[in-house]
Structure 1
Amino acid sequence: MTALNKLSFEDALAELEQIVRDLETGRMKLKDAIAAYERGAALRRHCESRLGEAEMRVKAIVQNADGAIHHEDMTPSTATQTREESSQ
């Protein structure tokens, strides 16, 4: 089992998805199911943390009416607004 801090988002998500599939079968012993659930909870927190880090780093290049380009922090709400504005 790889340490969480060494897992990429994609690897952590893949492991979490596998744990969910394993738990859904209902064939695991209780002790193993609890351990898998604990690992899954840790993986979920890790994925949320990685997504939060990525969200803070994402920048959008925005061009003003005068042609000046600047970077703007991109959050889900501003991403939606930017897409809507650019489609008009």
Structure 2
Amino acid sequence: MNNINDVTFEEAMARLEEIVKYLESGNAPLDKSLEVFEEGVALVKLCNSKLDNAEQKVRFLTSGGEEISDGAVPESGVQGI
């Protein structure tokens, strides 16, 4: 993966599934397994961040567009719809 920030949530999840299958196969050399595991950790962090952002947007929109109790407000309006 060239730039992890350009990866969509769905692409990251698909890659994570590939990584899990690869690691569970038990046929990978240790160095390659660690490299792939590191990529997986980065993808999990990315997915968590994207899910957190989506949750904040949903909470913002369902609160009538007002700032929600924890102060979280989406960066901008919903795009891509």
TM band (smaller chain): 0.7 to 0.9
Structure 2 residue 74 is matched with structure 1 residue 71: no
1:71 CA displacement: 1.5
Moved over 3 A (4+): none
The aligned residue for residue 74 of structure 2 is: none
1:3 CA displacement: 1.3
The aligned residue for residue 67 of structure 1 is: none
* Higher RCO (C-alpha 8 Å, min separation 6): 2
Aligned length: 64
- For the aligned residues, what is the CA RMSD? 1.5
Query: How many percent of aligned residue pairs carry the same amino acid?
Result: 38
Distance 1:42 1:27 in 2: 22
Q: Aligned letter for 1:20? A: V
- TM-score by structure 2 length? 0.72
How does 1:48-63 map onto structure 2 within 5 Å?
A: 48-58=48-58, 59-60=61-62
SS for the counterpart of 1:49 is helix
Which structure: greater strand fraction? 1
- TM-score by structure 1 length? 0.67
The aligned residue for residue 86 of structure 1 is: none
Distance 1:46 1:2 in 2: 14
Distance 1:13 1:71 in 2: 31
Unpaired runs of 5+ in structure 1?
61-69, 74-88
Unpaired runs of 5+ in structure 2?
69-81
